[in-house]
Amino acid sequence: MAFLALGTVALDNVKTPSGVKKNMLGGSAAHFCMSARLFDDVHVAGIVGKDFPKMHLDFLKRKGINLSGLTISDGKTFRWTGEYKQEDLNSAITHATELGVLADYIPQITDQHRKMTHVFLANLAPSVQEKLLSMIAKPEFVGLDTMNLWINTALRDLKRLMKKVDLMILNDTEAKMLTGERNTVAAARVIRAMGPRIVVIKKGEHGVYVFGGDFQFGYPAYPVAKVVDPTGAGDTFAGGFFGYLAKARKTDQKTLRRAAVYGTVLASFNVEGFGMGKTAPLSMKEVDRRLKEYQAFCAF
């Protein structure tokens, strides 16, 4: 069954030690969907400007991503210009954020979307995430991602929203920032007490930890020998993770474990190329091949 993902669809200018790329298709929802489409029928809710290349729209459609919730508005598409330095490929340095049409975005979704039960709120202002959630008739399983910016500037909104979601995915730095805890396990406990019953803490090249009520589990990252561009790795993880859950319509521990493994494998492809260079061409066959390798890597 189809599910909905809200987030940014952006044009990215990225510089990494491997090179410079301009006007790449990017954004939290775009990366999320490029990964989630491998598992389930995913509909994107977001906004782009009239300047958004038709090429990118056609590309997303061709990949099976439903764009009926994508608003095309007068104005300019959201742009992110950032850089990763050799010393710390885990941390993006933002040079410019041009909100453009994102500044006044109010989600416009269809009746089909309103009836969907599974919704993922990829990184975006918490007020917009909450707005979209309020449009959903009977949400059954809602996932939430966020970023340091919102923890710093919209904490009240974020905390209110956290009470309404089932799952929260965030990275370890954000988890520590949000809770004031310095220990990942302790931070996850505090976050669970704030609302979401499942908390996923992404640790970039160090893998992922997942915390539920009566269980916790963790996996290392798939070992990538050369990171080309980490942009969107977290969204790609979330797309694989939530896409798998949405398809399964289950959130028991076993399903969550499988979902985390798929998220990890998808994220490993993401960092090996610029933008969606490595994730867009993927088939499930290639994903499952790496999953097998990864399984051998982690086996006891």
Q: Quick one: 52 or 269, whose CB is closer to its own copies?
A: 269
Q: Which is nearer to its own copies, 164 or 176 (CB)?
A: 176
> Which residue number, 70 or 170, has a Cβ lying nearer to its own copies?
170
Q: How far is CA 8 from CA 179, 206, 284, in A?
A: 25, 26, 25
User: Which is nearer to its own copies, 15 or 160 (by Cβ)?
Assistant: 15
How far is Cα 218 from Cα 209, in angstroms, rounded to an integer?
Answer: 4
Contact 163, 195 (CB under 8 A): yes
CB of 86 to its own copies, least distance (A): 5
Structure tokens at 286: 């290639």
Residues that bind its own copies (CB under 8 A): 86-87, 89, 182-186, 189, 203, 205-207, 209, 216-220, 223-227, 257-258, 261, 295-300
* CA–CA separation, 117 and 130 (whole Å): 15
Which lies closer to its own copies via its Cβ, residue 176 or residue 249?
176
Report how far residue 69's alpha carbon sits from residue 31's, in angstroms, rounded to the nearest whole number: 16
DSSP 98: E
Pairwise CA distance, residues 80 & 265, whole Å: 25
If the CB atoms of residues 131 and 189 are measured against its own copies, the closer one turns out to be 189
User: Taking the complex as a whole, how short is the minimal distance between the CB of residue 218 and its own copies, in angstroms?
Assistant: 4
Minimum distance from CB of 223 to its own copies (Å)? 5
Q: Please, what is the minimum distance in Å from the beta carbon of residue 253 to its own copies?
A: 10
Q: How far is the CB of 85 from its own copies (least distance, A)?
A: 9
Pure H helices in 27-183: 28-36, 54-62, 111-114, 126-135, 148-153, 155-162, 172-179
For the CB of residue 261, give the shortest distance to its own copies in the complex, in Å. Answer: 6
What is the C-alpha end-to-end distance of the chain, expressed in Å? 36
Q: Running DSSP on this structure, what letter comes out for residue 81?
A: E
